[in-house]
């Protein structure tokens, strides 16, 4: 019995000693016997900050986030895992001594997207014979925009409405078929973003188009938009009185209110009306004065479209133009490798570049509809472009004309001038394919 007790006590002491060593290593950051003494190791704890307004069911699964570890000295990726879950199976990760940065993310980081993008990064050091424990929080890198349409808005305006949102680099368009929230990259020192709303009054069939600059309040983060900010915009029908952008027969226009949900606290704050700079994007605005530096910006959802001849519908094709000093010239040059199409343009007098901000004798051709046979319907004769601070160049209806001529490669070269800054140019490509 004494012999058995002695053996038992001996075994217990060995187990206790080994366990104590393990606990000591965990507490001190030292490696366990299973880890290389010539290296150090990383133990990563990953978490995500949930979007405000998300439900638990909508929240992201942190275990699905890809993870990469990069050497600071060489900028090379030394470990990469398709998921955090896969990384945990190999944890702790053994690394040579040095400086590293770990990055976990979910999604694709674009200027504008319908999908959120989360990212978390942490710099850390690895020392020989030591374990480094790192905690990284993945946060939404975008600011978020969504719209609510009141029952008055929906009962007053047709369902052909379009809402264009831009941060100056990316564009997202909302309509009856596309109502998923939009996400935008936060620009350097960004304090605002632009929206353009285009509607048709059901009663009068008249178009109303208004543009707004949404500014964050100066008393919040010094007015700078932050990653995670959520702008919830409500559009309503209001009586416009004498303001620009009003249906002249009914006095009806578009009303806008904005609630901002703070990225850190979840507090909801209504943006003051003074921070919503709205006006008629169809003239009337005097612009921001001739201030050099406020250069025009041309923004496209995408710059290349492929139209299939077999498709019965055409995509929405729009170009957003911002010119804080007011548009002085908006020159369009249409080119095509299809001789028949170019012959038609020549017949309309549009084979050479033309200025839609100063259409002159071309106004009937540019404004009459394709259905009437008297024009191409690129602009609205009752909505002058000259002097606008923003304009949505919509060529969607033009797509059906291109398809009539069969397979072709077409370009729309756009040049914007505000009379103060250098001209800004961009090209829209439209290919008609089988």
Distance CA 111, CA 27 (A): 44
Residue 102 pLDDT grade (very low, low, confident, very high; cuts 50, 70, 90): very high
Residue 120 pLDDT grade (very low, low, confident, very high; cuts 50, 70, 90): very high
List the alpha helices (DSSP H) in 98-243.
151-156
- What is the reported pLDDT for 220? 83
User: Could you write out the DSSP letters of every residue in 127-157?
Assistant: -TTBEEEEEEEEEE-EEEEEEEE-HHHHHHB
Per the DSSP assignment, residues forming a β-bridge with 136 are 46
3-state SS class at 3: helix
Contact 328, 388 (CB under 8 A): no
| Pairing mode of beta strands 131-140, 40-48 | parallel
Q: Residue range 68-95: average pLDDT?
A: 96
- What is the reported pLDDT for 324? 76
Residue 28 pLDDT grade (very low, low, confident, very high; cuts 50, 70, 90): very low
pTM above 0.85, yes or no: no
pLDDT of 224 > 80? The answer is yes
Which residues are within 8 A (CB) of 117 and not within 5 positions of it... i.e. 6 or more apart?
105, 106, 107, 108, 109, 110, 140, 141, 142, 183
Per the DSSP assignment, residues forming a β-bridge with 277 are 213
Q: Which helix (H) or strand (E) covers residue 24, if one does?
A: helix 2-28
Distance CA 118, CA 97 (A): 29
Instruction: Report the candidate in 254, 166, 181 with the shortest Cα–Cα distance to residue 213.
Output: 166
pLDDT, mean over the chain: 81
Residue 38 pLDDT grade (very low, low, confident, very high; cuts 50, 70, 90): confident
Distance CA 134, CA 44 (A): 5
3-state SS class at 113: strand
pLDDT of 153 > 90? The answer is yes
Q: Which helix (H) or strand (E) covers residue 350, if one does?
A: none
337-392 per-position pLDDT tens digit: 999 999 988 988 999 999 999 999 999 988 887 777 677 888 888 889 998 888 88
- What is the reported pLDDT for 388? 87
Neighbours of 233 (CB within 10 A): 23
Q: Which helix (H) or strand (E) covers residue 420, if one does?
A: none
- What is the reported pLDDT for 69? 97
Burial category of 113 from C-beta neighbours within 10 Å (exposed 0-12, middle 13-18, buried 19 and up):
middle
- What is the reported pLDDT for 21? 34
Q: Residue range 161-186: average pLDDT?
A: 88
- What is the reported pLDDT for 111? 85
Quote the DSSP letter at residue 43: E
Q: Say what percent of the chain tops pLDDT 70.
A: 81
Quote the DSSP letter at residue 265: T
pLDDT of 19 > 80? The answer is no
The C-alpha angle with vertex 322 and arms to 278 and 192, in degrees rounded to 5, equals 55
Distance CA 215, CA 280 (A): 18
- What is the reported pLDDT for 137? 94
3-state SS class at 432: strand
Instruction: Report the candidate in 319, 301, 305 with the shortest Cα–Cα distance to residue 432.
Output: 305
Q: Which helix (H) or strand (E) covers residue 17, if one does?
A: helix 2-28
Q: Say what percent of the chain tops pLDDT 90.
A: 41
Which residues are within 8 A (CB) of 28 and not within 5 positions of it... i.e. 6 or more apart?
none
- What is the reported pLDDT for 36? 56
Instruction: Report the candidate in 202, 189, 426, 233 with the shortest Cα–Cα distance to residue 330.
Output: 426
Burial category of 254 from C-beta neighbours within 10 Å (exposed 0-12, middle 13-18, buried 19 and up):
buried
pLDDT of 27 > 80? The answer is no
pLDDT of 95 > 90? The answer is yes
């Amino acid at each position: 019995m004494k012999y058995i007790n002695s053996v038992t006590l001996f075994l217990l002491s060995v187990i206790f000693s080994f366990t104590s060593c393990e606990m000591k290593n965990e507490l001190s950051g030292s490696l366990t016997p299973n880890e290389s003494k010539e290296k150090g190791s990383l133990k990563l704890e990953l978490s995500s900050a949930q979007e405000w307004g998300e439900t638990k069911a909508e929240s992201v699964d942190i275990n699905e986030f890809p993870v990469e570890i990069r050497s600071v000295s060489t900028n090379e990726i030394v470990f990469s895992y398709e998921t955090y879950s896969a990384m945990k199976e190999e944890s702790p990760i053994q690394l040579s001594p040095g400086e590293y940065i770990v990055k976990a993310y979910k999604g694709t980081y674009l200027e504008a997207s319908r999908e959120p993008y989360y990212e978390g990064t942490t710099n850390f050091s690895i020392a020989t014979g030591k374990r480094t424990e790192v905690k990284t929080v993945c946060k939404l890198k975008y600011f978020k925009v969504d719209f609510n349409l009141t029952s008055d808005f929906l009962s007053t305006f047709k369902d052909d409405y379009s809402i264009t949102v831009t941060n100056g680099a990316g564009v997202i368009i909302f309509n009856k078929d596309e109502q998923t929230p939009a996400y935008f990259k936060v620009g350097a020192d960004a304090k605002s973003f632009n929206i353009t709303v285009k509607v048709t009054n059901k009663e009068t069939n008249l178009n109303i188009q208004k543009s707004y600059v949404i500014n964050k309040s100066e008393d919040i983060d010094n007015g700078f938009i932050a990653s995670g900010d959520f702008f919830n915009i409500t559009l309503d029908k209001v009586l416009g009185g004498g303001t620009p952008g009003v249906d002249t027969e009914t006095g009806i226009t578009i009303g806008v209110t904005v609630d901002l949900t703070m990225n850190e606290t979840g507090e909801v704050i209504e943006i003051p009306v003074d921070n919503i700079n709205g006006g008629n994007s169809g003239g009337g605005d005097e612009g921001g004065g001739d201030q050099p530096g406020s250069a025009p910006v041309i923004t496209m959802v995408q710059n290349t479209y492929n139209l299939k001849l077999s498709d019965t519908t055409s995509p929405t094709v729009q170009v957003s133009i911002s010119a804080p000093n007011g548009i002085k010239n908006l020159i369009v040059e249409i080119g095509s490798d299809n001789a028949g199409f170019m012959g038609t343009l020549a017949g309309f007098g549009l084979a050479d570049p033309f200025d839609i901000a100063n259409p002159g004798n071309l106004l009937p051709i540019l404004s009459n509809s394709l259905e009437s046979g008297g024009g191409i319907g690129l602009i609205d004769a009752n909505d002058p472009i000259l002097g606008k601070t923003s304009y949505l160049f919509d060529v969607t209806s033009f797509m059906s004309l291109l398809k009539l001529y069969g397979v072709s490669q077409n370009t729309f070269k756009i040049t914007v001038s505000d009379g103060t800054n250098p001209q800004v140019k961009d090209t829209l490509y439209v290919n008609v394919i089988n």
